[in-house]
């Protein structure tokens, strides 16, 4: 149907208190497994790659593969750079055709984070591409960056307000207790903090590190402005577990389809469960202005 910007998808979700699944894509198989399931459920989705995955896939190939898939799909799909690690990476992805950009300056001092985000927004906005940014420190491992959970720093609501207003970002990723990677124990999310942050900012909130967050907590977060929920680890885990199973049961298998297809099926199952949790099924199409995007992308 359409390769759109994340904003076109997120605006409706934010207004109507449901969530958009943002799924990490590492290869053709995961891409196909995610999109096939989202199409079945008529759910709009965001597909995202970290800078590490951009390097692995090759930036042009990543864009072309996902754009070609999106244009044939029956649902709106956006391509998002997750945890953009520099102004240069963000610009490369913007030029290559990403329809959504995250710039992560959360490791920088407050003012420097704001300055970095402002530069990216100044470049992305005229192109109609929305920007996500993070304040506070979300724990865990993302690409090669590790933040131990005890050093993860919660976002202060008053800082959140200043940050969102000064940067003019489209989506905000605060630290309220989630972490990247596998949780060692059940995460305790600070809903009190999330509620205060949501009152202070008027843009959709992004939940990072949602793999392993209990379903009830994800649903609770949707009440407080969360409209984009990132899933990566869970997809990778079920994919590789299915591969291991096939390869150990049949050590002589060589045809990639024989071991990739069962792995893709497992990814699709996780995606189905997440979409139902987020309430985004049958939302693909509502409130979206595809023609506006097509005009822009044809320029």
Taking contact as CB under 5 A, which single stretch among the options 111-119, 201-209, 259-267, 271-279 is the one that binds Zn ion? 201-209
Q: If binding is defined by CB under 5 A, does position 228 make contact with Zn ion?
A: no
Taking contact as CB under 5 A, which single stretch among the options 19-27, 43-51, 56-64, 203-211 is the one that binds Zn ion? 203-211
Count, residues near Zn ion per rule CB under 5 A? 1
Whether 192 is catalytic is no
Is the Cβ of residue 1 or residue 207 nearer to Zn ion in the bound state?
207
Q: Which residue from 67, 208, 228, 283 is in contact with Zn ion, where contact means CB under 5 A? A: 208
Q: Which of 12, 82, 104, 170 is catalytic?
A: 82
Is the Cβ of residue 31 or residue 206 nearer to Zn ion in the bound state?
206
Is the Cβ of residue 7 or residue 208 nearer to Zn ion in the bound state?
208
Residue nearest to Zn ion (CB): 208
Give me the least distance between CB of 231 and Zn ion, in Å please.
10
Is the Cβ of residue 1 or residue 24 nearer to Zn ion in the bound state?
24
SS3 per residue for the chain: CEECCHHHHHHHHHHCCCCEEEEECCCHHHHHHHHHHHHHCCCCEEEEECHHHHHHHCHHHHHHHHHHHHHHCCCEEEEEEEEECCHHHHHHHHHHCCCEEEECCCCCCHHHHHHHHHHHHHHHHHHCCCEEEEECCCEEEECCEEECHHHCCCCCHHHHHHHHHHHCCCEEEECCCCEECCCCCCCCCCHHHHHHHHHHCCCCEEECCCCCCCHHHHHHHHCCCEEEEEECHHHHHHHHHHHHHHHHHCCCCCCHHHHHHHHHHHHHHHHHHHHHHHCCCCCCCCCCCHHHHHHHHCC
Question: Which residues are catalytically annotated?
Answer: 82
Site residues, Zn ion (CB under 5 A): 208
């Amino acid at each position: 149907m359409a390769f759109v910007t994340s904003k076109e998808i997120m605006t409706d979700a934010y207004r109507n208190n449901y969530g958009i699944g943002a799924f990490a894509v590492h290869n053709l198989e995961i891409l196909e497994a995610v999109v096939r399931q989202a199409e079945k459920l008529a759910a709009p989705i965001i597909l995202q790659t970290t800078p590490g995955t951009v390097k692995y896939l090759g930036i042009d190939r990543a864009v072309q593969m996902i754009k070609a898939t999106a244009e044939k799909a029956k649902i709106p799909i956006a391509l998002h750079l997750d945890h953009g690690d520099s102004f240069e990476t963000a610009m490369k992805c913007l030029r290559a055709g990403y329809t959504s950009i995250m710039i992560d300056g959360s490791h920088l001092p407050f003012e420097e984070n704001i300055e970095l985000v402002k530069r990216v927004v100044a470049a992305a906005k005229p192109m109609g591409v929305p920007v996500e940014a993070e304040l506070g420190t979300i724990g865990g491992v993302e690409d090669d960056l590790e933040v131990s959970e005890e050093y993860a720093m919660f976002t202060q609501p008053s800082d959140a307000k200043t940050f969102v207003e000064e940067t003019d970002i489209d989506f905000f990723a605060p630290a309220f207790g989630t972490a990247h990677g596998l949780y060692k124990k059940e995460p305790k999310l600070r809903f009190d903090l999330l509620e205060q942050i949501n009152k202070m900012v008027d843009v959709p909130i992004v939940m990072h590190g949602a793999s392993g967050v209990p379903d009830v907590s994800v649903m609770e977060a949707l009440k407080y402005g969360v409209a984009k929920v990132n899933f990566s680890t869970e997809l990778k885990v079920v994919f590789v577990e299915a591969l291991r199973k096939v390869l150990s049961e049949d050590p002589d298998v060589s045809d990639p389809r024989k071991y990739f297809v069962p792995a893709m099926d497992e990814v699709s199952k996780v995606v189905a469960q997440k979409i139902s949790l987020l309430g985004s099924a049958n939302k693909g199409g509502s409130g979206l202005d595809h023609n506006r995007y097509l005009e822009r992308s044809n320029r």
